[in-house]
Amino acid sequence: MNEVIHNIEQTVRGALPVLRAIPEEDWSFKDSPMKWSKKEIMGHLADSAQNNILRFVRSQYETTPRIIYNQDAWVRLQDYEHYPTEALLLLWEVLNNHLCRVLRVMPPDHYYKTCNVGKDLAEEHTMLFLAEDYLAHLKHHLSQLAAQAHRQ
């Protein structure tokens, strides 16, 4: 788990200068009305951190809690499109720092406690898997943002 925590921290630290270099006018651009803007992707990453913090905490004291969220509704209802960009980046950074703290203080015997993260009951995963998956998800969306930044 320590390697995952370290990688999340390094990923966030490394991404912030790249994200802050994106021109303000690019943050709200959409390739199509059905796709998320960069602000909405960042909002989604903040939502992902929040939901995973909830999973990492509740799974330690509940037996396989079921924690799912409708990502499109979360992005829409929080109106990330109109969120101040720097405040959104700060929110994302703070949530990731807190997520890493939660993982760091988690006792190793809790790494294998489970959480259901889907509508299907078969979507139970260990905390270790969810932490690794969170990191992969984070890197995926950050690479999307970096690629989009170079295209515009």
Instruction: Tell me the CATH number at 118.
Output: 1.20.120.450
Task: Pinpoint the alpha helices (H) of 62-84.
Answer: 71-77
| Helix/strand/coil for 115 | strand
Distances (CA, A) of 131 to 2, 3, 59, 104, 115: 10, 10, 13, 11, 12
Q: What range defines the domain where residue 144 resides?
A: 2-151
The span from the CA of 128 to the CA of 75, in Å, is 26
Both tokens of residue 24?
């303000």
Our count of domains for the chain comes to 1
- pTM, whole model, 2 decimals? 0.93
Half-sphere exposure (Cβ direction) of 45: Cα atoms closer than 13 Å: 31
Render pLDDT for 28-71 as a digit per residue (tens, 0 to 9).
Answer: 999 888 999 999 999 999 999 999 999 999 999 999 999 999 99
